[in-house]
Structure 1
């Protein structure tokens, strides 16, 4: 049932805020405290459900068509509103390709006839929820973990860094560990998981991650790494379908997420992203950033994540090469006013309610005249 506030916002043509992520898309009206809808960034393509950003050379539907179809679903299936003569705020990834930004401008300003459009980087947008304009923002999403400091309201893009270590990496680890250690009861008969040749979808792997897994405390993880004896947590039965039950051992539940904190061959992890970024920051800004760390993203909502992350930071700060180069004794984390998976969207909601929105937007008339999408890095036209 549509609420009174939703109806009022729709009737008054409130600003629409959209955050198109790799896995999920969040959208709603500016001034709202949470998105009105969070949907998978997927469409029905060739009779199958496909990610909008999944490359498929055999498909008859181009990437442009897929993105256009997603926008149609947002407005005509979920929101049931007309985009025409509305202002749009797009919360975008720091590394969104220029072609995608131009494509979104074409879709909203030409096809859907929005009155204006503005792009805001997700890291900058997240700082609007803090009531301050300087912070170190770490986004632990689906495909990547991205970090960028924001100083006095200016994203320091030169210090942007990322690692392909996030939610998708956990899914792959769960599938790998299930093949190694799990068993299955199928039609009353028990057998090893790898004997069944079951390949779990991303939706099932995410459901297992959310329902069954958690992040182990630092001390237990250290014991596990050193291969010492450890009393594992209890196993759990996961009903896969009507006649199949997957028996998930405690070792998978507790240590599938360790992939987030493991260092790669270059010695990098999502924890070293924080320390390396502080090393690259100006000396007079380092302590201020360390005192205002904001962690966002759906993967950061895993039970035990922030506690473990802080413990890892305090451990590595006393190790080489950081102990002699960073004079930081502690780290402080902000607790944002909402769930971590939509904090960037919430910042866009706040931004969309400001009086300065109109001055920073690309108007339809101006875009039809010159076809230019300003570059937010420099403030100059592309």
Structure 2
């Protein structure tokens, strides 16, 4: 019996890894390429230049690593995955990788080079995110991928012309939360001593908020966010989040109910969304449907598939459907969305039992067990004979007879 292959889904925030044929990853760990921020590097919305200026803030210079700079952090990270979490010798394994289609080519090239030349893996299969449809036994759907640094919409197999992306994701709402807490320092008690119930000095409170890590902000959002369809119809109170046994953080009802508005960017709600693109998940979905043939839009509207960790926020699906319907209802005859008004009552998510954050990994886990995917496999010998260059995605079928 053939040994199971390793399945890797390297994301901007978390990496999922495990073995083919399994229903869940062996582990989901932070993608740690210290000192580099992989989320910026893997974002398809950022130039692949070594240095580039963020359009939202001209004073914020983003420095992207070169292949030479990224080699050691990526090597250490892969070594940790194989030896600490998967407990295996990589030279005895085949690798299945599912990834963002628009990841910089140099990162893909470096990843494959390290796996072949350093870890001596037997072969590598590169799969696109549309493999997410495999567990559902479907050939096409609207795949809404809400990740860490950006969100993407695919239209299943063969519809990549309808691909859309925007730099909104969980990083967006984490940054918004941190900014909102800083802005509230002068108006109310944000950080207090849990033992004495007294507010801390503003300078000390500011230092604590500035030092909040991405993981802490994520935990705050998961435990306190309320995605209500109508926040005015429910009672949402302030809540205390305990940072340490002696320090607590006050999250206001406004923050709990509206901090995720940046993802949907409701134009009728005043919000401070500095750094948020005009595009958002709502417009991504509508723009993608517009790109499809008119006779397909109704069936696709009934086949929405939400993947990515951001989509796991309670109430996210209902909120997205509500905002899409609202955008369609308010579209006038001159709006580009007027042609989609007939879809208002046909928007429906595919019902399944899997978790959105590892859905792509699950599809790759199933695909890796099929013989039909052997034509997509790149062996070390083929890689060497091809001058150690990867084929483009449209040429990913490798003819082993060449």
Same fold (TM over 0.5): yes
1:117 CA displacement: 0.6
Maintained 8 Å contact 2:75/2:114: yes
Maintained 8 Å contact 1:216/1:255: no
Q: How many residues align?
A: 354
* 2:288 is aligned with 1:277: yes
State the partner residue of 1:82.
89
SS of 2:121's equivalent?
Answer: coil
Aligned pairs (5 A) from 1:243-262: 243-262=246-265
Provide the C-alpha distance between the structure 1 equivalents of 2:38 and 2:264, rounded to a whole number of angstroms.
Answer: 29
State the partner residue of 1:361.
377
Provide the C-alpha distance between the structure 2 equivalents of 1:362 and 1:35, rounded to a whole number of angstroms.
Answer: 23
1:377 CA displacement: 3.3
* 2:29 is aligned with 1:35: no
Provide the C-alpha distance between the structure 1 equivalents of 2:116 and 2:169, rounded to a whole number of angstroms.
Answer: 33
State the partner residue of 1:347.
363
State the partner residue of 1:306.
317
Aligned pairs (5 A) from 1:1-382: 13-43=3-33, 51-52=37-38, 62-122=69-129, 124-150=130-156, 153-154=157-158, 156-181=159-184, 183-186=190-193, 188=196, 189-191=198-200, 196-197=205-206, 198=208, 199=210, 200-217=212-229, 219-220=230-231, 232-262=235-265, 268-320=279-331, 321=335, 324-326=338-340, 327-328=342-343, 329-370=345-386, 371-379=388-396
Maintained 8 Å contact 2:39/2:148: no
Relative to structure 1, the CA distance from residue 194 to residue 136 in structure 2 (aligned partners, 3 Å threshold; closer, same or farther) is: farther
1:361 CA displacement: 0.6
SS of 1:32's equivalent?
Answer: coil
Maintained 8 Å contact 1:137/1:148: yes
1:298 CA displacement: 0.5
Query: Once the two structures are superposed, what CA deviation does each residue of 1:114-149 show, in whole Å capped at 9, x if it has no partner?
Result: 111111112x12111210111110100100011111
1:34 CA displacement: 0.5
Provide the C-alpha distance between the structure 2 equivalents of 1:81 and 1:275, rounded to a whole number of angstroms.
Answer: 45
Provide the C-alpha distance between the structure 1 equivalents of 2:374 and 2:397, rounded to a whole number of angstroms.
Answer: 17
Maintained 8 Å contact 1:28/1:36: yes
1:159 CA displacement: 2.1
Provide the C-alpha distance between the structure 2 equivalents of 1:258 and 1:192, rounded to a whole number of angstroms.
Answer: 30
Relative to structure 1, the CA distance from residue 344 to residue 380 in structure 2 (aligned partners, 3 Å threshold; closer, same or farther) is: closer
Query: Once the two structures are superposed, what CA deviation does each residue of 1:88-132 show, in whole Å capped at 9, x if it has no partner?
Result: 11010121111111111111122111111111112x121112101
Provide the C-alpha distance between the structure 2 equivalents of 1:205 and 1:65, rounded to a whole number of angstroms.
Answer: 28
State the partner residue of 1:7.
none
1:319 CA displacement: 2.6
Maintained 8 Å contact 2:26/2:85: no
Provide the C-alpha distance between the structure 2 equivalents of 1:67 and 1:208, rounded to a whole number of angstroms.
Answer: 29
Provide the C-alpha distance between the structure 1 equivalents of 2:203 and 2:328, rounded to a whole number of angstroms.
Answer: 41
Determine which structure has the larger strand proportion and give its number. 1
| Unmatched tracts of structure 1, length 5 or more | 1-10, 224-229
Provide the C-alpha distance between the structure 1 equivalents of 2:192 and 2:205, rounded to a whole number of angstroms.
Answer: 10
1:316 CA displacement: 1.6
SS of 1:18's equivalent?
Answer: strand
| Unmatched tracts of structure 2, length 5 or more | 41-61, 268-275
Relative to structure 1, the CA distance from residue 335 to residue 131 in structure 2 (aligned partners, 3 Å threshold; closer, same or farther) is: same
State the partner residue of 1:5.
none
Provide the C-alpha distance between the structure 1 equivalents of 2:65 and 2:107, rounded to a whole number of angstroms.
Answer: 21
Maintained 8 Å contact 2:39/2:149: no
Maintained 8 Å contact 1:275/1:322: no
1:43 CA displacement: 4.5
SS of 2:136's equivalent?
Answer: coil
